[in-house]
Amino acid sequence: MLTDTIKAEFEVLDERFRSCGGDQWLVRLHTGDRWTEGPAYFPAGRYLVWSDIPNDRMLRWDETTGAVGVFRSPASYTNGNTVDRLGRLVSCEQGPRRITRTEHDGSVTVIADRYDGKRFNSPNDVVERSDGSIWFTDPSYGIDSDYEGHWAESEIGACHVYRADPVTGRVEIVADDFVRPNGLAFSADERLLYIVDTRQSPSHIRVFGTGEGGSLTGGEIFGTCDQGVFDGIRLDDAGRVWAAAGDGLHCFAPDGTLIGKLRLPEVVSNLTFGGPKRNDLFITASTSVYALRVNFNGARPRP
């Protein structure tokens, strides 16, 4: 059930942000988790799923009733999630160190769990491209300790960004010069790919051009974090990049200018857009999950 509301504080840093707004109050849908992550909204069922990583469970909020219940437990220390174009859940499982897809009948298909015969570190965040390929980041957080996974030595010895073909099982490295790659998101036309590098100083977002066959070019720094570190990212339909940070969500114009913030009382880990018009903003933040109806819309995936 709904627990409470918090004043929505939009901080304008550039006039281009002044038009961004919405409800005056954020609704805290749920609280009491250890570390929330990976929000994924299912339009057909009108529900939100997210990960509570250290508690090794996933939870589900029902939009029609407001009820919150356990979606999956144990949950393989799942971190990031996305919904593919056929309405299936795609997840980053830090425990078994793999990318999986939950089919409509509830069975689980392993999309990828190794590169060149070596196990991944701990897949963190994931997106689907319109060609069906699955792109994901693989930092080491799930093997650094037993807190949100299982302590282990890295078999690969580095933290990369990968592309997997869910049909053939082929896995390729698309970027190999990150310290701790984290959140990632395509622009609406898929010509750009934004990727967070959390453990840089300062933490930052890089932007790449996408070429034929999924090759990446560029990789320059798009925006830097001035409070905490960046985590998950999403784009809205105006091409603005919204990034989870220590004091809330940071909003960047398409040219990389930090134009504003939506401040929250907890460290933010991730976000997604949902609802019938993609103008419900769902935010995972430390122990809680928040929702805010906004006057802009999330970018629609390319068909």
pLDDT tens profile 63-80: 999 999 999 999 999 999
pLDDT at 212: 79
User: pLDDT tens across 101-143, in order?
Assistant: 999 999 999 999 999 999 999 999 999 999 999 999 999 999 9
Contacts of 178 (CB under 8 A, 6+ apart): 137, 159, 160, 161, 195, 197
User: pLDDT tens across 244-280, in order?
Assistant: 999 999 999 999 999 999 999 999 999 999 999 999 9
Q: What is the mean pLDDT of residues 227-239?
A: 98
Looking up tokens 């690969």, which residue turns up? 156
Kindly tell me if the per-residue pLDDT of 2 is higher than 70. no
pLDDT at 3: 61
Kindly tell me if the per-residue pLDDT of 1 is higher than 60. no
What is the chain's mean pLDDT, rounded? 96
In angstroms, how far is CA 163 from the centroid of its own chain?
Answer: 16
Kindly tell me if the per-residue pLDDT of 15 is higher than 50. yes
Residue 226 identity (one-letter amino acid)? D
Q: For the chain, what is the total number of helices (H) and then of strands (E)?
A: 0, 28
Q: Distance between terminal CA atoms of the chain?
A: 35
pLDDT band, very low/low/confident/very high, at 302 (cuts 50, 70, 90): confident
Structure tokens at 36: 């929330």
pLDDT at 214: 81
- Does the predicted TM-score (pTM) go above 0.85? yes
Q: What is the mean pLDDT of residues 199-219?
A: 93
Percent above pLDDT 70 for the chain: 99
